[in-house]
């Protein structure tokens, strides 16, 4: 139902009119692990699936390295439509989508949320920390729908960043081992 609400959303958001598809989610809605990225890119816009391009391949490989397949995860983004030219989403666009993301989290009710990159981290946790500073830390998350409930969150470098900065992959591997350890103790 939420997917339909987002698809039919007719509030003011320019990027929706420019996008080919609404990109809502993929994976297992029963998963304990919710992955939140930034926004659809070109491949995602064309296929209507999150993380289905080059950065998605790296995302799959990252989680495969700790024994998790895409079907073990639930994957979405802070934005449901591709910003033209893959530009960084504006604060306004993020703010318009936030209540949907909050409801999405409430419905999936994961045990842990992994933010892929700084946009998702900053959207949902009030922090100015960069990923470099925030990695390997757990942050408590709640929102208007969750009431007293707290969900653990942690960030990872965005796979697109790792594709550009391959010297950071070693750090990301350590971060994945940190996540594996957290998951083992959930």
CA gap 47, 146 in Å, rounded:
31
- 147/30 Cα distance (integer angstroms): 20
When binding is defined by CB under 6 A, the residue of 55, 97, 104, 121 that contacts ligand URA is 55
Q: Where in 108-167 is the site for ligand URA (CB under 6 A)?
A: 116, 160
CB closest to ligand URA, residue no:
37
**Residue 26, interface with ligand URA (CB under 6 A)?**
no
Helix or strand holding residue 160 (H, E): helix 159-164
CB 135 within 8 A of CB 52: no
- Only one of the segments 37-45, 122-130, 143-151, 173-181 lies at the binding site for ligand URA (rule: CB under 6 A); that segment is 37-45
Q: φ, ψ for residue 35 (rounded to 5)? A: -105, 125
CA distance 28 to 180: 18
Name the residue nearer to ligand URA (CB basis): 24 or 141: 24
Considering only 27, 50, 83, 89, the residue that binds ligand URA (CB under 6 A) is 50
Beta bridge partners of 114: 35, 154
- Does 89 bind ligand URA (CB under 6 A)? Our answer is no
In order, the DSSP letters of 60-97 are HHHHHTTT--GGGSEEEES-SSPPGGGPPPPHHHHHHH
What residues from 91 to 110 belong to the interface with ligand URA (CB under 6 A)? none
Nearer of residues 57 and 181 to ligand URA, judged by Cβ: 57
Q: How far apart are CB 185 and ligand URA at their closest, in Å?
A: 27
| Both tokens assigned to 80 | 């449901």
Residue 37 binds ligand URA (CB under 6 A):
yes
Is 25 a binding residue for ligand URA by CB under 6 A? The answer is no
12 Cβ contact list (under 8 Å, min separation 6) = 96
Looking at the Cβ atoms of 121 and 151, the one nearer to ligand URA is 121
Residue choice 19, 33, 35, 39 for contact with ligand URA (CB under 6 A):
39
Q: Point out which residues bind ligand URA (CB under 6 A).
A: 37-41, 44, 50-51, 55, 77, 116, 160
């Amino acid at each position: 139902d939420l997917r339909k609400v987002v698809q039919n959303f007719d509030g003011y958001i320019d990027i929706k009119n420019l996008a080919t598809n609404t990109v809502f989610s993929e994976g297992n809605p029963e998963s304990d692990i919710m992955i939140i990225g930034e926004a659809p890119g070109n491949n995602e816009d064309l296929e209507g699936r999150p993380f289905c391009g080059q950065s998605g391949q790296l995302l799959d490989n990252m989680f495969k390295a700790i024994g998790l397949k895409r079907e073990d995860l639930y994957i979405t983004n802070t934005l449901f439509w591709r910003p033209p030219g893959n530009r960084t989403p504006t604060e306004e666009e993020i703010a318009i989508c936030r209540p949907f993301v909050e409801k999405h989290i409430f419905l999936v009710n994961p045990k842990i949320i992994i933010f892929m990159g700084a946009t998702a981290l900053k959207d949902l946790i009030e922090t100015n920390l960069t990923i470099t500073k925030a990695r390997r830390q757990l942050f408590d998350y709640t929102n208007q729908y969750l009431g007293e409930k707290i969900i653990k969150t942690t960030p990872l470098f965005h796979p697109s960043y790792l594709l550009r900065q391959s010297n950071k992959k070693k750090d990301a591997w350590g971060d994945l081992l940190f996540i594996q350890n957290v998951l083992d103790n959930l």
